[in-house]
Amino acid sequence: MDIKITKTTTPKAKPTGKLGFGKVFTDHMFMMNYTEGKGWHDARIEPYHPISLDPSAMVFHYGQEMFEGLKAYCGVDGKVRLFRPEMNAKRTNDTNKRLCIPQLPEEDFVEAVKAVVSVDKDWIPKEDGTSLYIRPFIIATDEFLGVAPSKTYLFIIILSPSGAYYESGLAPVGIWIEDDYVRAVKGGMGFAKTGGNYAASLIAQVKAHDDGYSQVLWLDGVERKYIEEVGAMNIFFKIGGKVVTPMLNGSILPGITRNSVIEVCKSWGYEVEERKISVDELIAAQKEGKLEECFGTGTAAVISPVGKLRYKDDVMIINNNEIGPLSQKLYDTITGLQWGKIEDTFGFVMNID
Ligand SMILES: *Cc1c(COP(=O)(O)O)cnc(C)c1O
């Protein structure tokens, strides 16, 4: 892929002090167009700037869009690493297929990410726990109010330096098991990384927040009986010594952190079960003292220990609302790989040179 690079002549001041998440953007962005009959074209890196779209652009009306999320890490050795970006490239195409967005060559996706991160390398924060969040996304740009797949698209990558997710160490969260609203059903878009899934989730998220819970755990959309996933994280349980997580069934997002956690747990000799898990099973396991740990997995937090699970009138306190040993060990191992603190025997990290 030929990427035309235009550098800014007015670099912005780098943020000082505490970095939050997703509010500060770097000096550059990657852009590429798609036109039916021509394919993907005009790959370019330009100074970060607002984009202008016609109000009739299809993305505004029927939500034909997709996004990805990954990070670049500045290691303890000063080297810049990505974590399994080829999996984000593959997932992009799985999402695109579901949303009738054209396929994007996976090597081009990875090359574009590497190129724009390299240009804005100085923006990667170096403090412990920080990273550069990478947000690739594709939007439908045809100027047309008819309901049909667009014939033109824009692929953009923006970058945002982000602070440590846990400012004072890993901390357990309280999760609300939602028994009224549902997020996705088999045959829908649950496995795709697309804005519509998030639009559908906001109302329950607001309700959970109002009740003092940090996130929502979704149940299956048909029986509202089986565990699916948390807002932007997959979910794991340690039950009677075994690691258990809902199987990918079409309505769950196939997380890259999820996949990595499974691989790492297996390498440590854990039995890992990917299967249906009902809320009733969890409540029973809790009563028998077998629900040992619960944690969410995702790019943002890596591992998010769950100390409290609420379902209707039941509140389950897990591991005394403390971080479990497996949660801590997984967090240390995966972040250790990302920041180059431990040798990568899994082949998970990709260096940017
Ligand atoms: C992105 C996402 C995840 C986590 O995926 P990772 O690849 O591990 O970051 C989980 N659930 C949903 C709904 C997501 O959008």
What is the number of the ligand 1 atom nearest to the C-alpha of 201?
Answer: 13
Contact 21, 133 (CB under 8 A): yes
Lowest-pLDDT range of 116-120, 154-158, 162-166 = 162-166
Binned at pLDDT 50, 70 and 90, residue 164 comes out as confident
Cα dist from 291 to 178, 246, 259, whole Å: 20, 15, 22
DSSP assignment string, 14-42: PP-S---SSS---SEEEEEEEETTTEEEE
Q: Smallest Cα–Cα separation from 71: which of 337, 266, 347?
A: 337
Pairwise CA distance, residues 187 & 37, whole Å: 29
Task: Tell whether the model's pLDDT for residue 167 goes beyond 90.
Answer: no
Q: What is the pLDDT of residues 9-44, one digit of tens each?
A: 999 999 988 888 999 999 999 999 999 999 999 999
- Compute the chain's Rg from CA coordinates: 21
CA dist., res. 153 & res. 142, Å (int): 7
**Residue 166 — very low, low, confident or very high, per pLDDT cuts 50/70/90?**
confident
- Write out pLDDT tens, residues 234-259: 999 999 999 999 999 999 999 999 99
Residue 58 and residue 150 in contact, taking contact as beta carbons nearer than 8 Å: yes
Contacts of 217 (CB under 8 A, 6+ apart): 175, 176, 177, 178, 227, 228, 229, 230, 235, 309
pTM: 0.97
**pLDDT (0 to 100) of residue 176:** 96
User: What stretch of H or E contains 89?
Assistant: helix 85-98
Which run of H or E residues covers position 329? helix 325-338
Cβ neighbour number for residue 206 with a 10 Å cutoff: 11
Ligand 1 binding residues, C-beta < 6 A: 69, 193, 229, 232-234, 253, 255-258, 297-299
- Averaged pLDDT, 110-133: 96
Q: Which atom of ligand 1 is nearest to the CA of 256?
A: 7
In whole angstroms, give the CA distance from residue 169 to residue 183. Answer: 30
The pLDDT tens digits of the residues spanning 181-226 come to 999 999 999 999 999 999 999 999 999 999 999 999 999 999 999 9
Average pLDDT on 96-110 reads: 98
Residue 128 pLDDT > 90: no
Whether residue 169 has pLDDT greater than 90: no
Give the pLDDT band (50/70/90) at residue 168: low
As a whole number, mean pLDDT of residues 124-148 equals: 96
Per-residue pLDDT at 115 exceeds 90: yes
Q: What is the overall mean pLDDT for the chain?
A: 96
Per the listing, tokens 């090359």 go with 111
| Nearest CA, atom 15, ligand 1 | 232
Number of Cα atoms under 13 Å in the Cβ half of residue 110 = 18
For residue 310, list its beta bridge partners: 176, 315
Q: Which atom of ligand 1 is nearest to the CA of 257?
A: 8
Instruction: Tell me, in angstroms, the distance from the centre of ligand 1 to residue 13's CA.
Output: 31
Which pLDDT belongs to residue 46?
98
Tell me which of 92, 233, 297 to substitute to probe ligand 1's pocket, judged by most ligand atoms within 8 Å of the beta carbon. Answer: 233
Query: Which residue of 70, 94, 253 sits with most ligand 1 atoms within 8 Å of its CB, as the best mutation to test the pocket?
Result: 253
pLDDT score of 80: 97
Q: How far is the CA of 153 from the CAs of 59, 64, 181, 271, in angstroms?
A: 9, 10, 32, 44
> What pLDDT score was predicted for residue 165?
80
Residue 337 near residue 346 (C-beta atoms within 8 A): yes
Mean pLDDT across the stretch 271-284? 97
What pLDDT is stored for residue 171 in this prediction? 85
